[in-house]
Amino acid sequence: MSRILKVSQGDYRLQVQTGGNIILDTGSAAGTVTITGNLDVLGTQTIVESTNSYINDNIIQLNYNPNNPYNGDGISSTLGYQAGIEIGRGSRDWAEFVFSEQVTHYDTLLNSSVVGTFQVKTRNNATNSTALSGIQLRTIATDGTADLAFDLGNGVPVMKIVNSTNYEARVTDPNHIPNKKFVNDYVSATSGVANVTLIHYPLTGTYSSSVECTNTTINLAVGLQLRAQISSSGVAIDQLTFASDTISNSGLNNLVLTATNNNVEINAVMNLDNQASDPSAISGKTKMYTKSSEGAGRTGIYFVNNTPNADELVSKNRAVLLSILL
């Protein structure tokens, strides 16, 4: 038989001694206690020992202060600057999903670091120490307005692929993310093609030697100095330029051909351009040149050395004639 206690005017208070308990006993059949109005719990601890809890709210607010919901800047220090959910795991470290005010992350839309980051971690009840934990999912999605970034916290960690066998062999789609092993195998393969714009040494810091590709040139630098360049005009090494059938010197120095056995062989006809004037002598050198006009030797081929001697080479016929006359 149901009974109704009705207070038509004013509030109703059920009071026990200080520290006493109020028990709503529905019996061994585990009946239901229904509250038709709001429930405001003012104590410091609320324990729910039910097996299943069903909550109709679509958003649950933590760290909520009904008297001043906007008090302070972020989560207060009394709560350890973090708020979230903790899951008991018996003798194992408890699992936590919290929002921490002490961890920053890089926002690719703002191009700056932002205070406040979600953390998934475990907590040891005995020492109260925490350690970051793992998270398993199928997809990480952005809001479509900014790049997806992996913030390494200005430290020395690297991104890696683990617990996978022959991952590099499964990188076959253009959208697959390669690992270093894949790049090594791809470049070393017979049919591999490496699309790069810069190869340099050392690997970190300011590089001193490099091979760089641009829209118009391939540049080779050694010790931060450009030593060779390939372009549509030819190949330039220091001050020498190789273009078509011509070797030219863009600097003020002479063009020097040397060989380890002191012999330079020219297996073709050598064309000497006529010189407008006689060149000056150089110590230890002999210069050969041609002029448009022939001299007494009737060859038009001249030489000058540091004796100094300057004269024309004599043709065979003219040499015989001169020997008779002289």
Q: Within a domain: residue 192?
A: no
Model pLDDT, residue 70: 64
Q: Within a domain: residue 241?
A: no
Q: How far is CA 247 from CA 10, 166, 243, 250, in A?
A: 110, 51, 7, 10
Q: Within a domain: residue 146?
A: yes
Tokens 């006009």 identify what position?
A: 293
Tokens 């040891």 identify what position?
A: 124
Residue 277 contacts residue 294 (beta carbons within 8 Å): no
Per the structure, the complete domain to which residue 322 belongs is given by: 272-326
3-state secondary structure 13-58: CCCCCCCCCCCCCCCCCCCCCCCCCCCCCCCCCCCCCCCCCCCCCC
> What average pLDDT score do residues 253-262 get?
81
Q: Within a domain: residue 314?
A: yes
Q: Within a domain: residue 83?
A: yes
**Residue 217 has which token pair?**
């040139």
pLDDT at 50 over 70: yes
> What average pLDDT score do residues 285-297 get?
88
Taking the CA atoms of the chain, what radius of gyration do you get in angstroms? 45
Model pLDDT, residue 326: 62
> What average pLDDT score do residues 211-218 get?
94
Measured distance CA(83)–CA(65) in Å, rounded: 13
pTM over cut 0.85: no
* Most confident by average pLDDT, 77-86, 95-104, 176-185, 202-211: 95-104
Model pLDDT, residue 118: 96
Enumerate residues 6+ apart whose C-beta is below 8 A from 183. Answer: none
Q: How confident is the model at residue 250 (pLDDT cuts 50, 70, 90)?
A: confident
Model pLDDT, residue 191: 72
Enumerate residues 6+ apart whose C-beta is below 8 A from 86. Answer: 94, 95, 96, 98, 123
Q: Which residue has the higher pLDDT, 127 or 295?
A: 127
> What average pLDDT score do residues 278-286 get?
87
Measured distance CA(99)–CA(58) in Å, rounded: 19
Measured distance CA(315)–CA(326) in Å, rounded: 16
Model pLDDT, residue 144: 92
Where is the domain boundary, 159, 182, 217?
Answer: 159
Q: Within a domain: residue 106?
A: yes
Q: Which residue has the higher pLDDT, 122 or 307?
A: 122
Q: Within a domain: residue 246?
A: no
Least trusted range by pLDDT, from 112-116, 128-132, 259-263: 259-263
Q: Which residue has the higher pLDDT, 182 or 2?
A: 182
Where is the domain boundary, 143, 159, 175?
Answer: 159
Structurally, the chain folds into a number of domains equal to 2
Model pLDDT, residue 109: 94
Where is the domain boundary, 115, 135, 159?
Answer: 159
Q: Which residue has the higher pLDDT, 119 or 286?
A: 119
Q: Is 313 exposed, middle or buried (0-12, 13-18, 19+ CB in 10 A)?
A: middle
> What average pLDDT score do residues 251-278 get?
85
Q: Within a domain: residue 297?
A: yes
Tokens 């991104």 identify what position?
A: 159
